[in-house]
Amino acid sequence: MKALIQAGGKGTRLQSISGSLPKPMVALDGKPILQWQIEGLVRSGITEIVIVVSPNGQVIPSYFKDGASFGAKISYITEPAPLGTGGILFQAKPILGKGDFILLFGDLMLDIDWKRMIAFHENHHSEMTAFVHPNSHPFDSDLLVVNEKDEVTGFDSKHNVRSFFYENMVTAGIYILSNRLLETITTPGPLDFETQVMVPAISRGGVFAYRSSEYVKDCGTPDRFATVTEDIQNGVVAAKCLSRKQKCIFLDRDGTLNVFGDFVTNADKLTMMPDAGESLKLINRSRFLAIVITNQPVVARGETSFEELHRIHNKMEDLLGREGAYLDDLYFCPHHPDKGFVGEIPQLKIVCACRKPKIGLLLKAQERYNIDFSQSWFIGDTKQDVQTGLNAGCRTVLLTCGDPRPNKLYAKAEPTFTSNSLKEAIVKILSWK
């Protein structure tokens, strides 16, 4: 598979650091951003690379030449005038050939396992696969609307007014495109990728979202540049790559992230714990993932719908995003084994493999994110949560700030330690030897 890197932007917001250099050539910890990208592609076996440059960006081919010294075969397209984020695709057709290809933008610092994303793309027979991830500022980011099958059903521009709760599913500027999609671009000229390429593809069907926790950040402002440099030096960038085993802090929901009380059956009933945002931000800045594992029998009992549960979780992500925090993922069990509830859903009244303290949901997370349970933690406000973590081989924390009857089930399950608050627990985990 080939890769097409858009490196023709001027990077005016970074000129205090870049000077006259194109933004992709600014050095991060001693290497140009573009070199970090190329080396990552080559590590995954992607060695045929096409770089789009501007007429004033000839420093790029002067530095990388034919790519041989980087283990790659690099060719170049000069963009004579700005064509928009999608306009270069028509011009690139002859050099890209008939196969599927990667499209990414040259101002992104990233370290991802391309083999995983390519396998996802091929398994879904996707016309377009978009790399998506949660970030700390979804309110000013382009979002994708994604269903339970990972199919993209809508594009929500950052310029839209959002008067609703939304999932923190940010498009990262990384794609795998099929040749079928390339054939739909039939005329030369300026083209906006999101509105004129992606949105029509979504309407045709066959666009899928590859959700990942891997490190992808825009380096386009001095503040972001400084943050990314620090993350490289602290090893966070490399540690997040899914080719490496991941550490995770699994979190219960009710009584841990949101206030314990009656079962939350609609979004209006959800109230976050006061320290939830600050606690999640601590995890987000670390090498740990933050993933919620929650039993939601209210669905099986007919007390809420899948649609309303999705809205509840969107509200949670929305509120966390306003505080600059995010969850890497969330898994829920909708089942309940006991029958006899008014309005219950018979097909959900089963003994399943995903209801805590069973670890079916953790195993799903482990498969997607390559998680090492022995390096991970489970935090919750009941001994059932503790038993779940123990069953998976994780260390565990019992919170005393949630359920007033934490021992009502699995009383013999002993946590690694107890804590008065989620933030206190996170601080202790992050300093754990």
The dihedral over CA atoms of 30, 47, 107, 170, expressed in degrees to the nearest 10, equals -130
Active site residue 381: no
Which of 254, 328, 381, 403 is an active site residue? 254
Active site residue 254: yes
Q: Give the chain as a 3 state SS string.
A: CEEEEECCCCCHHHHHHHCCCCHHHCEECCEEHHHHHHHHHHHCCCCEEEEEECCCCCHHHHHHCCCHHHCCEEEEEECCCCCHHHHHHHHHHHHHCCCCEEEEECCEEEECCHHHHHHHHHHCCCCEEEEEECCCCHHHCCEEEECCCCEEEEEECCCCCCCCCCCCCEEEEEEEECHHHHCCCCCCCCCCHHHHHHHHHHHHCCEEEEECCCEEEECCCHHHHHHHHHHHHCCHHHHCCCCCCEEEEEECCECCCECCCCCCCCHHHCCECCCHHHHHHHHHCCCEEEEEEEECCCCCCCCCCHHHHHHHHHHHHHHHHHCCCCCCEEEEECCCCCCCCCCCCHHHCCCCCCCCCCCHHHHHHHHHHCECHHHCEEEECCHHHHHHHHHHCCEEEEECCCCCCCCCCCCCCCCCEEECCHHHHHHHHHCCC
Which of 107, 252, 318, 381 is an active site residue? 252
Which residues are marked as active site? 252, 254
